């Protein structure tokens, strides 16, 4: 079966333990950037469809991988999140903007 997508690091080992062979290659920076974007959309869609916490965890993992690839450490990302929360709030009050007049 063909996949042609970014997978977690241990997937080839898991496939081998199942008695199968995984054909893989390692992405250069440009391909990795695009594959992370593709994976972000894939995981977001899977979470949107299922609402499953496992899919939400996968989505966060991809976000962290994108941040690291861009040279942003998790602590820096959390700092940016806190700054934006302070300036613009979070999404906790469930506010829906219907219109601006």
Q: Is residue 26 part of a domain?
A: yes
Report how far residue 21's alpha carbon sits from residue 18's, in angstroms, rounded to the nearest whole number: 9
pLDDT tens-place string over residues 66-78: 999 999 999 999 9
Q: How far is Cα 54 from Cα 84, in angstroms, rounded to an integer? A: 26
pTM: 0.86
Within-domain flag for 40: yes
Number of domains in the chain: 1
**Residue 9, Cβ neighbours under 10 Å: how many?**
6
User: Is residue 63 in a domain?
Assistant: yes
User: What pLDDT, in 10s, does the model give residues 13-53?
Assistant: 999 999 999 999 999 999 999 999 999 999 999 999 999 99
From residue 90, alpha-carbon distances to 1, 18, 29, 57, 95 in Å are: 42, 44, 32, 19, 10
Q: Is position 22 within any domain?
A: yes
CB proximity list for 86: less than 8 A, separation 6 or greater: none
Expressed as residue numbers, the domain containing 68 is: 11-88
Q: Alpha-carbon distance 47 to 79, whole Å?
A: 25
């Amino acid at each position: 079966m063909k996949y042609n997508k970014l997978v977690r690091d241990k997937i080839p080992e898991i496939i081998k333990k199942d008695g199968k062979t995984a054909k893989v290659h390692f992405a250069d920076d440009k391909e990795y950037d695009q594959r992370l974007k593709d994976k972000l959309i894939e995981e977001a869609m899977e979470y949107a469809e299922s609402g499953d916490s496992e899919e939400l965890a996968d989505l966060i993992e991809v976000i962290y991988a994108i941040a690291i690839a861009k040279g942003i450490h998790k602590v820096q990302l959390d700092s940016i999140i806190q700054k934006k929360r302070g300036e613009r709030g979070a999404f906790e009050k469930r506010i829906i903007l219907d219109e601006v007049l």
